[in-house]
């Protein structure tokens, strides 16, 4: 059965933050993130999200069990490192809604849940802000990366079909411990952007 999707905003997200942390650690361990996550660090990130009244989270449930999550918040309220490339490029963060992670357990993929995560977050951004654009960032990996699984299909085409355009010139750096590293490694993540309104300027 396809999981049902519910959307939670602001403080209503709080009961689902532990599930988001668990899903992030489980799903991001795989290619392409290779994230060796620990719950303590997740708690810091999640407490910031929980304090954002205009933040939102779509949750996919199998029965009562969260099996996927997808978050968003105004870019102006995202952490400094995510806003920085926009400011450096002379772009006003107030015009953007930032979409955080989408994480869905593998056995639930290919049933339209990822599409529904985008639809729900774009609706939330339009309903709760004047933002002209939705944006998210994704890790960049070289084609010859030693840990790339054979046959791995990048999500680029999926994102383009959702209306997003890649802006490789707009990128931020995030540090995380990778599954094959002893210490945290700097990763470059570049942005994808989609207009949320009929004719945004610039």
Ligand X SMILES: CC(C)(COP(=O)(O)OP(=O)(O)OC[C@H]1O[C@@H](n2cnc3c(N)ncnc32)[C@H](O)[C@@H]1OP(=O)(O)O)[C@@H](O)C(=O)NCCC(=O)NCCS
Binding site for ligand X (CB under 6 A): 27, 101-104, 109-115, 138, 155, 158, 161
Toward ligand X, which CB reaches closer, 11 or 165?
165
Least spacing, CB of residue 85 vs ligand X, in Å: 17
Residue whose CB is less far from ligand X, 33 or 86: 33
Residue number with CB closer to ligand X (88 or 115): 115
CB of 103 to ligand X, least distance (A): 5
Residue 24 CB, shortest distance to ligand X, in Å, is: 9
Can you list the alpha helix ranges (DSSP code H) found in the chain? 17-28, 39-50, 80-88, 113-128, 156-161
Q: Which of 69, 70, 136 is nearest to 97 (CA)?
A: 136
Beta carbon of residue 144, minimum distance to ligand X (angstroms, whole number): 20
Asked whether the beta carbons of 147 and 34 are under 8 A apart, the reply is yes
CB of 90 to ligand X, least distance (A): 26
Least distance to ligand X, CB of residue 152, Å: 11
Strands 133-139 and 96-104: parallel
Contact predicate 20/58, CB 8 Å:
no
Residue number, 56 or 114, with CB nearest to ligand X: 114
Return the bridge partners of 133, or none.
Answer: 96, 195
Considering the complex, state which of residue 99 and residue 133 has its C-beta at the smaller distance from ligand X: 99
- Contact of 107 with 113, CB cutoff 8 Å: no
What one-character DSSP code corresponds to residue 74? Answer: E
Query: CA dihedral defined by 120, 122, 123, 124, rounded to 10 degrees?
Result: 90
Cβ proximity to ligand X, 86 vs 98, nearer residue: 98
Q: Residue 20 phi/psi, 5° resolution?
A: -60, -45
Query: What is the phi-psi region of residue 161: left when phi exceeds 0, alpha when psi lies from -120 to 50, beta otherwise?
Result: alpha
């Amino acid at each position: 059965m396809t999981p049902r999707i519910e959307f939670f905003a602001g403080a209503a997200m709080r009961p689902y933050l532990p599930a988001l942390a668990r899903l992030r650690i489980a799903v991001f361990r795989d290619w392409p993130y290779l994230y060796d996550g620990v719950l303590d660090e997740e708690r810091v990130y999640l407490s910031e999200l929980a304090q954002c009244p205009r933040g939102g989270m779509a949750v996919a449930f199998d029965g009562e069990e969260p099996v996927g999550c997808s978050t968003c918040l105004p870019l102006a309220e995202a952490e400094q490192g995510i806003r920085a490339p926009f400011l450096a490029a002379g772009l006003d963060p107030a015009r953007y809604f930032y979409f955080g992670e989408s994480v869905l357990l593998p056995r639930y993929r290919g049933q339209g849940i990822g599409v529904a995560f985008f639809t729900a977050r774009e609706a939330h951004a339009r309903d709760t802000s004047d933002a002209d654009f939705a944006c998210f960032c994704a890790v960049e990996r070289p084609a010859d990366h030693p840990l790339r699984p054979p046959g791995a299909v990048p999500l680029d085409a999926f994102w383009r079909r959702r209306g997003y355009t890649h802006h490789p010139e707009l990128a931020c750096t995030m540090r995380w411990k990778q599954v094959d590293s002893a210490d945290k490694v700097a990763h470059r993540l570049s942005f994808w952007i989609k207009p949320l309104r009929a004719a945004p300027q610039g």
